[in-house]
């Protein structure tokens, strides 16, 4: 694959920032979402990345899909395009590390669907989010009907999808679409600070916890409990478990330094 043009992965102190930079509004076209997929894959594989921040810059997260490109497609073409887009977003959602979306300005349509792939969302005070696809005669096609409903429940998801309305930061926080609202110029720093806290934790246990929660939601309670039990037991074959429990017994909680092995 050629060197990325619109998406970079920058790593510092255990935190990898997946940075979108496609002027002017980070519209999501085929090239951008494939570059997001590549960055997510690299972040998954790199041991020096222990947590990830998704960031679109100081002015905008991502204003949605590239409507001009999409408008030229028929159903067959959109099935292929949509499958590739979902694969790219799935790579972000399945990152085995904590992921925080740092949202400034607009995160609409595909932009908010990308933010939904994160574990947490930090919004700037003037941010606007939403799923406006209904206003174009279509529906969200990259997880907006599914991840949104799992996040806030079916009724709130239907309100947002049926109306296509924009939601301000404070309402987003109130109904669970955002996890924190901060001044616009503090969005990225806040997300990085959150990521650094996770980056200090045990990587294998964090990956297991994320998998247990995410995959458990898609099955029955009994299936989820079985998955949890298996992942819990597997961690007892790791160096981090030995380190964590020895540190607890010798020094009390919260003092361990984990190797990720």
Cis peptide before 24 (omega within 30 of 0): yes
In angstroms, rounded to a whole number, what is the distance separating the alpha carbons of residues 91 and 213? 17
- Please name the helix (run of DSSP H) or strand (run of DSSP E) that holds residue 122, with its range, or none: strand 120-124
Inside any domain, residue 177: yes
User: Does residue 250 carry a catalytic annotation?
Assistant: no
φ, ψ dihedrals at 136, nearest 5°: -105, 5
30 as an active site residue: the answer is no
- Cα separation values, 7 from 99, 120, 167, 174, Å: 16, 20, 26, 31
Read off the pTM: 0.93
> Considering the domain boundaries, does residue 260 fall inside one?
no
CA-CA distance, 155 to 49, in Å (whole number)?
37
Sheet holding 167-168, edge to edge: 106-108, 128-130, 167-168
* CATH code at position 224: 1.10.12.10
Are 239 and 114 members of one domain?
Answer: no
CA-CA distance, 53 to 12, in Å (whole number)?
Answer: 11
Indicate if 165 and 131 belong to the same structural domain.
yes
- Which of 5, 80, 113, 170 is an active site residue? 113
What are the distances in angstroms from CA 254 to CA 140, 145, 168?
42, 39, 37
CATH code: domain of residue 55 = 3.90.226.10
Residues 159 and 174 in one domain: yes
- The continuous run of DSSP H or E covering 167 comes out as strand 167-168
What pLDDT score was predicted for residue 65? Answer: 77
Co-location of 119 and 54 in the same domain: yes
Total structural domains within the chain = 2
Dist CA 18 CA 92 (whole Å): 10
Q: What is the pLDDT along the chain (261 residues), one digit of tens a residue?
A: 578 899 999 999 999 999 999 999 999 999 999 999 999 999 999 999 999 999 999 999 998 877 777 778 888 888 888 889 899 999 999 999 999 999 999 999 999 999 999 999 999 999 999 999 999 999 999 999 999 999 999 999 999 999 999 999 999 999 999 999 999 999 999 999 999 999 999 999 999 999 999 999 989 999 999 999 999 999 999 999 999 999 999 998 888 999 999
Which pLDDT score is estimated for 124? 98
Other Cβ atoms less than 10 A from the Cβ of 81: the count is 18
Q: What is the pLDDT of residues 137-189, one digit of tens each?
A: 999 999 999 999 999 999 999 999 999 999 999 999 999 999 999 999 999 99
Choose, from 133, 174, 215, 234, the residue flagged as catalytic. 133
Domain interval for residue 191: 7-199
In a shared domain, residues 191 and 209: no
Q: What is the DSSP string of 18-45?
A: EEE--TTT--B-HHHHHHHHHHHHHHHH
At residue 1, the pLDDT reads 56
């Amino acid at each position: 694959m050629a060197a990325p043009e619109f998406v970079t992965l920058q790593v510092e102190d255990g935190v990898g920032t997946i940075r979108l930079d496609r002027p002017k509004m980070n519209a999501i076209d085929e090239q951008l979402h494939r570059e997001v997929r590549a960055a997510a894959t690299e972040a998954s594989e790199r041991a020096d990345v222990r947590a990830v921040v998704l960031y679109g810059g100081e002015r905008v997260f991502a204003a949605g899909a590239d409507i001009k490109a999409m408008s030229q497609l028929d159903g067959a073409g959109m099935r292929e395009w949509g499958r590739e887009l979902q694969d790219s977003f799935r790579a972000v959602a399945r990152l085995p590390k904590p992921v925080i979306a740092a949202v400034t300005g607009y995160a609409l349509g595909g932009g908010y669907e990308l933010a939904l792939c994160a574990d947490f969302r930090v919004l700037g005070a003037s941010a606007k989010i939403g799923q406006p696809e209904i206003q174009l005669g279509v529906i969200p096609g990259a997880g907006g009907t599914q991840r949104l409903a799992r996040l806030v429940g079916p009724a709130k998801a239907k309100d947002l999808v049926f109306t296509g309305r924009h939601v301000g930061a404070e309402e987003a926080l109130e109904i669970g679409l955002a996890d924190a609202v901060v001044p616009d110029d503090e969005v990225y720093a806040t997300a990085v600070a959150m990521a650094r806290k996770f980056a200090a934790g045990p990587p294998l246990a964090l990956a297991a916890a994320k998998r247990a929660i995410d995959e458990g939601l898609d099955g029955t309670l009994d299936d989820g409990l079985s998955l949890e039990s298996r992942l819990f037991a597997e961690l007892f074959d790791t160096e981090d478990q030995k380190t964590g429990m020895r540190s607890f017994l010798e020094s009390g909680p919260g003092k361990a330094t984990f190797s990720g092995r």
